[in-house]
Chain A
């Protein structure tokens, strides 16, 4: 044992004057760990992400049911490209690659917000953009500012605008059938509530069926992955504003990508505020932006842009809306000065 101790003593000449004392309480490298027993939770990134994948299978299955096997091909392309890109970027950075499922979630979400007959190469390019630029360039999971799937969606929407405006009518159940080109309900403004709720309308692949998205959202809520405030305030703001502005609130809630965005995208841990009041601010702001873009913008749908814009102000929301420390009574004046 004595031989070992000699080796522990610093041999580096720069440190020999000031040897590190492990018993020195001021040593900042020392971690304080309370004694056992520790309570171990089941939560982990892998578990959470695969639950999201499970929840996403419902809108994905709806996409395949309504728009045929081509939708499945799109999903597979997007997920494969996302995972592959993550693997390549991680190896380029010499970081460990782990199948934590986050790339699968991004790939699935990206495919679900695409029009159901998008060319596969655009799906591939967009999916690579999602991971490479939207996530890994920032440093990987947890570091990105914008929702990767939506960043990719905005990228392909701007880059390949012509190829991505071809929406088709659903061909429910007929897996190999070719759909007929049609405008989304948001563009021509007509569809029955029943069709909008079940998903039997033209639109992006995974956005049409409110019912299936609600099932997926219920799974997320049941496992405690998302807070109910986010979707409720987001959808509620759109409905209330729609009503006040003389629009049909049910139509604005059910049509387009609002449901999918509210349950699966706005609630993204990384790009939404940390605190519950912050999440409410985020959700209300996004709801206002959706109505603004839908009613006055040149684009028919504003969910993706509304969430991206609120992603951008999330650091500011987190800066000003902070959790109140336990026992905190009154806001001190010093806080404002920083």
Chain B
């Protein structure tokens, strides 16, 4: 149990996807302008990460590994994750329109995101078991959501700031991400 908690916090804070591993930067900068959309994006990423980890782990360990086809993992993972998320999206659209509208465009946007694939690879590379993989995905998603929400709060405040012309928009966001990454170094080595 303590092992699972350690994995969760390690993925959420210490090895934060965005600030330490530099994965998923595109939604991080693209969807952090407003708090509400940042939250929706974070939840969508969390869901897709969970599903992707739950699917890719058995595929790798029961299909690819026994046949010595580990080199195929990138292609297979992308294909499986993308098609699976499309199926989920269609199902949600049919069954729960409110949820579909809430997740909106974010669900299809992130199906091929590097953060999703990255977590699936991290799970394999760290030889996590199935349950550990799920917890790792949960932690990574939670950490992503946390950072995205913090970033959107900061960017909403920066909209009011007298930022120099050359730094407006993405440049100042990159500087904020840098300083945020420096701050997150404080969590280093906790687990």
| Residues of chain A having any CB pair with chain B under 8 Å | 93, 133-134, 136-140, 143, 145-146, 151, 154-155, 158, 289, 292-293, 296-299, 302, 304-306, 308-309, 311-313, 315-316, 318-319
**B161, A138: Cβ atoms closer than 8 Å:** yes
Q: Judge whether A137 and B183 touch: CB under 8 Å.
A: no
Chain B neighbourhood of A302, CB < 8 A: 186
When distances are taken between beta carbons in the complex, the residues of chain A under 8 Å from B63 are none
Q: Which residues of B contact A312 (CB under 8 A)?
A: 150, 154, 180, 183
Segment 89-135 of B: residues with Cβ below 8 Å from A: none
Known: A299-B188, A316-B150, A316-B153. A154 touches B183 (CB 8 A): yes
In the complex, 17 of the A-B residue pairs with CB atoms within 8 angstroms, ordered by the A residue number, are A138-B161, A138-B175, A145-B179, A292-B190, A293-B187, A296-B189, A296-B190, A297-B188, A297-B190, A299-B186, A305-B183, A305-B185, A308-B186, A313-B153, A315-B154, A315-B157, A319-B153
Q: Which residues of B contact A134 (CB under 8 A)?
A: 179
Task: Please give me the 8 A-B residue pairs with the lowest Cβ-Cβ distance, nearest first.
Answer: A298-B189, A305-B186, A308-B183, A315-B153, A143-B161, A139-B162, A316-B153, A154-B182
CA distance A137 to B163 in the complex (A): 7
Contact check, A138 vs B163: say whether CB atoms are below 8 A apart. Answer: yes
Please state if A145 and B154 are interface contacts (CB–CB under 8 Å).
yes
Q: Would A139 and B161 count as touching, CB distance under 8 A?
A: yes
Whether A309 pairs with B183 at a CB distance below 8 angstroms is yes
| Minimum distance in angstroms from A34 CB to a CB of chain B | 26
Q: How far is the CB of A91 from chain B (nearest CB, A)?
A: 13
Chain B minimum-CB-distance residue to A159: B182
Q: B51 at the A/B interface (Cβ < 8 Å)?
A: no
Interchain CB contact under 8 A, B183 and A146: yes
Q: Which residues of B contact A296 (CB under 8 A)?
A: 189-191
Interface of A is mostly: helix
Q: A297 touching B158 by the CB < 8 A rule?
A: no
Q: Is B29 an interface residue (CB 8 A)?
A: no
B185 to nearest A CB, angstroms? 6
Smallest CB-CB separation from A139: which chain B residue? B162
B138 within 8 A of A: no
Of chain A, the residue at the smallest CB distance from B156 is: A315
Chain A residues with CB under 8 Å of B154's CB are: 145, 312, 315
Residues of A within 8 A of B20 (CB): none
- Minimum CB–CB distance for A44 against chain B, Å: 19
Does residue B176 face the partner (Cβ distance < 8 Å to A)? Answer: yes
- The 8 Å CB contact of B179, one of A151, A293, A297, A299, is A151
For residue B47, CB closer than 8 A to chain A, the reply is no
Question: How many whole Å from A318's CB to the nearest CB in chain B?
Answer: 8
Q: Which residue of A lies closest to B150 (CB)?
A: A312
B66 CB within 8 Å of chain A: no
Residues of B within 8 A of A136 (CB): 164
Query: How many angstroms from the CA of A302 to the CA of B184 in the assembled complex?
Result: 11
- In the bound complex, do residue A140 and residue B162 qualify as a contact, i.e. CB atoms below 8 Å apart? yes
Select one of B150, B163, B190 contacting A139, CB under 8 A: B163
Contacts of B156 in A (CB 8 A): 315, 319
A313 and B35 CA atoms in complex are apart in Å by: 12
* B149: Cβ under 8 A from any A Cβ: yes
User: Residues of A contacting B184 with CB < 8 Å?
Assistant: 309
The residue on B at minimum CB distance from A154 is B182
B167 beta carbon closer than 8 Å to chain A: yes
Report chain B residues within 8 Å CB of A315.
Answer: 153-154, 156-157
Contact between B157 and A145, CB atoms less than 8 A apart: yes
Residue of A93, A304, A316, A318 with most chain B CB atoms under a 10 A cut-off: A316
Closest Cβ–Cβ distance, residue B189 to chain A (whole Å): 3
Instruction: Choose one: A93, A140, A155, A293; the contact of B182 (CB below 8 Å).
Output: A155
Tell me whether B82 is interfacial, beta carbon within 8 Å.
Answer: no
Residues of B within 8 A of A306 (CB): 186
In the assembled complex, the CB of B191 is this many whole angstroms from the nearest CB of chain A, namely: 8
Which residues of A lie under 8 Å from residue B167 when comparing CB positions? 137-138
- The contact of B186 among A293, A313, A316, by CB within 8 Å, is A293
Contact A151 B182 (CB under 8 A): yes
> Which residue, of B35, B153, B176, B184, has the highest number of chain A Cβ atoms within 10 A?
B153
Contacts of A308 in B (CB 8 A): 179, 182-183, 186
Determine how close the nearest CB of chain B comes to the CB of A71; give it in whole angstroms.
25
Query: In the complex the two chains form, what is the Cα distance from A47 to B191 in whole Å?
Result: 46
Among B153, B175, B189, point to the contact of A137 (Cβ < 8 A): B175
- Is B76 an interface position by the 8 A CB rule? no
B149, B156, B167, B187 interface centre (most CB from chain A within 10 Å): B187
